[in-house]
Amino acid sequence: MKVRPLALIDDTDRLTEYSAAMDRMQQLWQERVEDRRPDTLWLLSHEPIFTIGRRTPDAHLPAPDSTIPVFETNRGGQLTYHGPGQLVGYLVVKLRPGEGVVDYIREVEYRMIAALDALGIPAERRATPKGSELLTGVWTRDTGRKITSIGMRVGRNVSTHGFAVNVTGDLSPWKLAVACGLPEVDMTSVERELGDRPAPTFEQVAKTVATAYEAVTPAEVRG
C-alpha cells in the first residue's frame, strides 16, 4: 500500500456520545473538502448504541424493548453496535485520482489485518459471494469470527465513518440484533481471541492501530 500519512486525533480516554461525534465528523469532513486539514484518523469509543445503514431491514433491528438506542446514519453497510471496550476509527480522507470508496474500504481492511497481526491475531478479509451485497470487515483466521466492522461514505471525494474493532468488554449486545446483515455471524474481540495469552491494554491497541494507518500527531504530518 502506498504511504498515506494521516493526522491522528486520539479521544480514547473517554466515551463520546454518538450524535456529538457525527457533528464533529461532519466538521472534519468540511475542513478536508476545503483542504483546511490533512487526511485524518479519529480514534474514539462510544456509549452503547446500535447504528444502522441506509438499507438495514427492520427485521435486523433489536426488539422494541431493548434499552440500547438505535441511530440511523448515512453510511453504507448494515447494523452495527458500538460500546465501551470497542475502538472506533473515523477516517476523513480525500481519495486519490481514480480511487473509489470500495478501493479505500479494501485498504482499510488490509490495514486492520496488519494491526491485528501485530497483536498476535491472524486475520483476513473475505471475498463477496457472487450476487451478494458487498462483504466488508475483518475475520479471525483461526476461529472464523468477525472482529472488525467497516462502513463508510464518500461525499465530494472525501470519506467519513470508518471501522470498529472490539478490544474487550461485553459482547452480548451483538446478539440482540442482526449484525452486519449476517444472521449467523459470531462477533469477537481481541481479548476473546487471545484467550489465556496476555492481553494488550486498550491504549496499546489504539497505538497499534494508529501505527498500521501511519497516523501521527498533526504536527508530524508531511505531504
Residues with catalytic annotation?
180
Q: What are the cell numbers at 107?
A: 485498504
Which amino acid, residue 166? N
Q: Is 159 exposed, middle or buried (0-12, 13-18, 19+ CB in 10 A)?
A: buried
Cα separation values, 146 from 87, 100, 113, 159, 193, Å: 14, 24, 12, 23, 11
Long-range (24+ apart) CB contacts under 8 A made by 153-157 are 153/74, 153/75, 153/76, 153/101, 154/95, 154/100, 154/101, 154/104, 155/29, 155/33, 156/33, 157/33, 157/94, 157/95
- Determine how many CB atoms are found less than 10 A away from the CB of residue 103: 11
DSSP 60: G
Residue with cell 474487550: 168
Question: Hey, CA dihedral for 178, 183, 184, 190, is it positive or negative?
Answer: negative
Asked if 169 contacts 84 with a C-beta cutoff of 8 angstroms, the reply is yes
> What is the helix, strand, coil percentage profile of the chain, to 5?
30, 30, 45
